[in-house]
């Protein structure tokens, strides 16, 4: 028999224990084991009740586990919410069921126990105490059922009467702890969903980035898990904790969030100049051709066949050829020296506009964009594109992550840094780059290479993409161990379909 002092001490200890975890699954188990230990019960179970659903969450039977030598696997499942079962009855009425032998409960008169578990496991449920878990508003949110209170000799005895009120009080404490854990789980789920959808929305501003963040997040998590699975080799001593994995998940989803501040025209750019702008140049060239014919008309007799004029025809052919050249150059990803020379030659020409003003055939803006050596972004546009990572840092630093997720911005904002200091925005070298940032960099580059939706380059085949990664390794830009793991374990296989959902999403009852 517990003394009053023992009871107070136990209650205090249970109260503290119940606030020590906010993980729902852990909390469910802890509530049952604490209640069992308080009442010296051999078995205990817990049910939750929400939205009209009664879910059987936890089953513990100490003597059975000892006999079997292991804890039988148990998976939560719903049970019908009605007054036929003891748990259902307590959940619906909020009443306590306290009996010396639960087999004496008569199903014709009220709730009764389901004996199938006992029959299957060779167990005998006898004394029983089933109490509701009521939250601070008095709403029943669950049920705790305790079976077979034991005396010092290991004999089954009835649950003492004086323990019932205390059990109710513990059940209420447990209900509050559960409600708090549930709120926390809901907030975490909500925030993770918000991050995921915000990043998706930023990606989908442009078809050229759509899906990129999702794929990078999926591939980053694949690489991190593969590192954790490595038993030997370069990653044998590295084990990401759950929190480090969670940091990586947030960092990967947020890594390009700064693109929200990059102009759509830059994100979307897939030619050197726009189609409209190219048409303007073509129209000006047409004007030059018209001018040639008008000039010829002025100088020759009207009855002479102008179109047969050899000199004019040759000039017109040249202009047609230049038009085609500009059209091709506009779509091309690389500008060879001879093409650059031809472009400069075309740009040096003039035309007379409708007001009689002589102007350059290609204006400064058009020339700057057409003369880009690689891809189709000018230096200023590259600067703007690269600024996204600084904007990512600013955005992520302003998210008040909890202490255990303090490194999210440091990982997210480093995904364009290279081990040899040639990356941006800070040109950091390897000793300043966390492993999560390095693997995010590999995942980011791999997806940029293999994606078919980039404005400044087409999808590169897998083999060539791997060769490029290896080249980056040889130049000291990427972490060789990560690239090797990605390639050796073929972690990229099927990664494009990864939804990269929040792995810590908690099923809230």
Considering only residues 383 to 422 of the shown chain, the ones binding Fe ion according to CB under 5 A are none
What burial class does residue 362 get, using C-beta atoms within 10 Å of its C-beta: 0-12 exposed, 13-18 middle, 19+ buried?
buried
Quick check: 375 and 457 in contact, CB under 8 A? yes
Considering only residues 315 to 374 of the shown chain, the ones binding Fe ion according to CB under 5 A are none
- Which residue lies nearer to Fe ion by CB, 247 or 256? 256
Part of the chain binding Fe ion (CB under 5 A), chosen from 157-165, 235-243, 248-256, 462-470: 248-256
| Cα of 138 vs its chain's centroid, Å | 38
Part of the chain binding Fe ion (CB under 5 A), chosen from 133-141, 226-234, 401-409, 443-451: 443-451
Distance (Å) of CA 98 to CA 79, 101, 132, 372, 378: 21, 9, 12, 83, 79
Site string for Fe ion, 251-290 (x = CB under 5 A): -----x----------------------------------
Closest contact distance (angstroms) between CB of 39 and Fe ion is 56
Give residue for tokens 């950091």. 428
Single out the residue of 286, 270, 261, 259 nearest to residue 416, CA to CA.
Answer: 259
> How many residues at the interface with Fe ion, by CB under 5 A?
2
How many whole angstroms separate alpha carbon 440 and alpha carbon 251?
8
Part of the chain binding Fe ion (CB under 5 A), chosen from 45-53, 233-241, 322-330, 440-448: 440-448
Closest contact distance (angstroms) between CB of 417 and Fe ion is 11
Closest contact distance (angstroms) between CB of 446 and Fe ion is 10
Closest contact distance (angstroms) between CB of 447 and Fe ion is 7
- Which residue lies nearer to Fe ion by CB, 281 or 443? 443
Closest contact distance (angstroms) between CB of 449 and Fe ion is 12
Structural Rg of the chain based on CA atoms = 36
Closest contact distance (angstroms) between CB of 386 and Fe ion is 8
Q: Are strands 128-134 and 77-79 parallel, antiparallel or unpaired?
A: unpaired
SS3 category, 142: strand
Residue 356 neighbours by CB distance under 10 Å: 6
Closest contact distance (angstroms) between CB of 410 and Fe ion is 15
171: which residues sit within 8 A by CB, 6+ positions away?
35, 131, 132, 133, 134, 144
- Which residue lies nearer to Fe ion by CB, 130 or 206? 206
- Which residue lies nearer to Fe ion by CB, 195 or 335? 195
The only residue of 34, 247, 444, 479 in contact with Fe ion, by rule CB under 5 A: 444
Q: Is residue 381 part of the contact set for Fe ion (CB under 5 A)?
A: no
**What residues make contact with Fe ion under the rule CB under 5 A?**
256, 444
């Amino acid at each position: 028999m517990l003394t009053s002092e023992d009871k107070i001490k136990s209650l205090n200890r249970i109260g503290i224990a119940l606030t020590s975890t906010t993980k729902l699954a852990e909390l469910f188990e802890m509530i049952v084991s604490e209640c069992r230990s308080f009442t010296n019960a051999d078995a205990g179970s817990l049910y939750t009740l929400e939205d009209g659903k009664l879910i059987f969450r936890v089953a513990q039977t100490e003597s059975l586990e000892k006999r079997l030598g292991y804890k039988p696997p148990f998976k939560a499942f719903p049970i019908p919410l009605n007054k036929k079962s003891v748990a259902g009855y307590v959940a619906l009425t909020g009443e306590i069921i306290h009996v010396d032998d639960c087999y004496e409960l008569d199903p014709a008169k009220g709730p009764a126990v389901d004996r199938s578990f006992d029959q299957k496991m060779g167990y005998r449920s006898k004394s029983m105490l089933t109490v509701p878990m009521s939250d601070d508003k008095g709403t029943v949110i669950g049920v705790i059922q305790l079976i077979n209170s034991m005396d010092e000799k290991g004999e089954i005895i009835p649950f003492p009467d004086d323990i019932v009120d205390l059990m109710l009080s513990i059940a209420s404490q447990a209900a509050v702890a559960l409600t708090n854990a549930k709120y926390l789980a809901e907030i975490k789920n909500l925030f993770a969903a918000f991050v995921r959808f915000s990043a998706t929305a930023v990606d989908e501003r442009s078809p050229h980035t759509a899906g990129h963040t999702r794929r990078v997040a999926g591939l980053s998590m694949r690489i991190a898990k593969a590192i954790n699975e490595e038993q030997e080799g370069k990653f044998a001593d590295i084990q990401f904790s759950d929190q480090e994995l969670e940091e990586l998940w947030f960092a990967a989803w947020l890594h390009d969030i700064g693109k929200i501040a990059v102009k759509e025209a830059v994100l979307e750019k897939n030619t050197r100049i726009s189609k409209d702008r190219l048409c303007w140049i073509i129209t000006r060239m047409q004007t030059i051709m018209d001018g040639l014919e008008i000039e010829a008309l002025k100088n020759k007799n009207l009855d002479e066949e102008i179109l047969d004029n050899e000199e004019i025809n040759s000039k017109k052919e040249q202009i047609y050829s230049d038009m085609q050249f500009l059209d091709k150059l506009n779509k091309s990803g690389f500008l060879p020296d001879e093409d650059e020379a031809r472009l400069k030659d075309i740009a040096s020409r003039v035309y007379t506009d409708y007001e009689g003003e002589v102007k350059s055939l290609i204006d400064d803006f058009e020339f700057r964009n057409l003369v880009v050596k690689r891809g189709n972004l000018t230096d200023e546009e590259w600067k703007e594109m690269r600024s996204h990572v600084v904007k990512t840092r600013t955005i992520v630093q302003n998210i008040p992550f909890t202490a255990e997720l303090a490194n999210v911005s440091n990982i997210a904002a480093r995904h364009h840094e290279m081990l040899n200091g040639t990356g941006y925005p800070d040109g950091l070298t390897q000793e300043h780059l966390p492993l999560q940032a390095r693997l995010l960099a590999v995942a980011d580059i791999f997806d940029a290479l293999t994606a078919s939706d980039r404005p400044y380059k087409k999808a590169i085949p897998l083999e060539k993409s791997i060769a490029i990664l290896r080249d980056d390794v040889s130049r000291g830009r990427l972490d060789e161990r990560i690239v090797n793991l990605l390639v050796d374990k073929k972690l990229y296989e099927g990664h494009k379909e990864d939804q990269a959902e929040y792995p810590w999403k908690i099923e809230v009852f």
